[in-house]
Homo-oligomer: A and B are copies of this chain.
Amino acid sequence: MDLVQRILAGDGRAVARLMSWVENGDPRAVAAVKALYPHTGRAHVVGITGPPGSGKSTLVDQITQELRRREKTVGIVAVDPSSPFSGGAILADRIRMQGRSLDPGVFIRSMATRGRLGGLARATNDVVDILDASGRQYVLLETVGVGQDEVEIVKAAHTSIVVGVPGLGDDIQTIKAGIMEIGDLFVVNKADRDGADRTATEIEMMLQLGRARPGWQPQVLKTVATEGEGVAALTEAMLKHQAYLEHSQDQGQRGAERSRWILHELLEERLIARIFETVAGNGTMEQLVKRIAARELDPHSAVEELLRQAGL
């Protein structure tokens, strides 16, 4: 049975293999992802974002447990925009995966940035589609958020959860970077710490100050993820949002938004690849870089030169 068929049958090893192809830019990936695409669109994708230290991973684990109790299958995609550096990321992932990896109903994948050439958002999207096509009912997409890419990744989810903690609520900066307008649900995690109520109130006030949205009204919830407190209520709110989407026009609009974004990401990647193929071999790129660094040539003129050479 070929890889696509095995993925459609829910085979975890086949899923993992295609994900590796996607991450490594293996030429076989595109055909497989294309073949899977008509089988996507069934999973409910939940984006979870928040600053480092807000306890997102624990929360994701807890939501997963709640979904498993309801006999739902889950895929977890942890997007790590930081570069691989020593054992930190790997260790953290191992700690997490030990808890869940023996359950065939849960599939976990970590994705790290692939450096300057980008493509993280597009690769993440392919990975979500693979999980979707393999029959996962929920895909939890965790990002260390506040960056532009991460905002886009979470925006592309059906339900977006923004996580904060009481300690950070002191600072107006938090609210500013809180990605207020993309959240369907706001969580004040570590709510057993001082100031949890104040932070929750502040978020509610900010939501009221912000532009009124028709339809779904964002909710603010408190959790202590390490103790499992509030997680059932959060999961219920998430399911309520899912039910809401199914009966509203927002669903279609979100689908179109996600499609537009993905088209754009992919277009960018393909165009850049084409330019690099054209001029990479002849050393033009390095020459231009040197001249820019020496202030002999400005970057705008360099790009014009590149486009000319590539016949564009």
Jot down 9 A-B pairs with beta carbons below 8 A, ordered by A.
A33-B298, A82-B178, A85-B206, A86-B209, A92-B173, A145-B146, A145-B147, A263-B292, A264-B272
Q: Which residue of B lies closest to A165 (CB)?
A: B167
Give the interface size class of chain A.
35 or more
Find out whether the CB atom of B170 lies under 8 angstroms from the CB atom of A210. Answer: no
Q: Is A151's beta carbon under 8 Å from chain B?
A: yes
Q: Which residue of B lies closest to A271 (CB)?
A: B271
Q: 10 new A-B pairs (CB below 8 Å) besides A41-B295, A267-B303?
A: A38-B295, A53-B173, A82-B151, A82-B180, A83-B151, A92-B176, A252-B293, A256-B293, A259-B292, A263-B292
CB-contacts of A40-58 with B (<8 A): 40-41, 51-53, 55-57
Q: In the complex, how many angstroms separate the beta carbon of A248 from the nearest chain B beta carbon?
A: 15
Find out whether the CB atom of B40 lies under 8 angstroms from the CB atom of A303. Answer: no
Q: In the complex, how many angstroms separate the beta carbon of A191 from the nearest chain B beta carbon?
A: 15
Contacts of A89 in B (CB 8 A): 176
Given contacts A34-B298, A171-B55, A259-B292, contact A146 B81 (CB under 8 A): yes
- Select one of B38, B82, B177, B292 contacting A52, CB under 8 A: B177
Q: Is A268's beta carbon under 8 Å from chain B?
A: yes
Q: Give complex CA distance A57, B307 in Å.
A: 40
Find out whether the CB atom of A53 lies under 8 angstroms from the CB atom of B171. Answer: yes
Q: Is A246's beta carbon under 8 Å from chain B?
A: no
Q: Is A21's beta carbon under 8 Å from chain B?
A: no
Q: Give complex CA distance A267, B299 in Å.
A: 9
Q: In the complex, how many angstroms separate the beta carbon of A28 from the nearest chain B beta carbon?
A: 13
Q: Is A16's beta carbon under 8 Å from chain B?
A: no
Q: Give complex CA distance A61, B182 in Å.
A: 30
0/1 per residue, A175-210, Cβ < 8 Å to B? 111111110000000000000000000000010011
0/1 per residue, A83-109, Cβ < 8 Å to B? 101111101100100000000000000
Contacts of A180 in B (CB 8 A): 82, 85-86, 88
Q: Give complex CA distance A145, B51 in Å.
A: 10
Contacts of A256 in B (CB 8 A): 289-290, 293
Q: Give complex CA distance A295, B86 in Å.
A: 41
Given contacts A177-B81, A179-B82, A307-B270, contact A170 B53 (CB under 8 A): yes
Q: In the complex, how many angstroms separate the beta carbon of A293 from the nearest chain B beta carbon?
A: 4
Q: Is A300's beta carbon under 8 Å from chain B?
A: yes
Find out whether the CB atom of A152 lies under 8 angstroms from the CB atom of B116. Answer: yes
Contacts of A82 in B (CB 8 A): 146, 151, 176-180
Q: Is A24's beta carbon under 8 Å from chain B?
A: no
Find out whether the CB atom of A312 lies under 8 angstroms from the CB atom of B271. Answer: yes
Find out whether the CB atom of A292 lies under 8 angstroms from the CB atom of B168. Answer: no
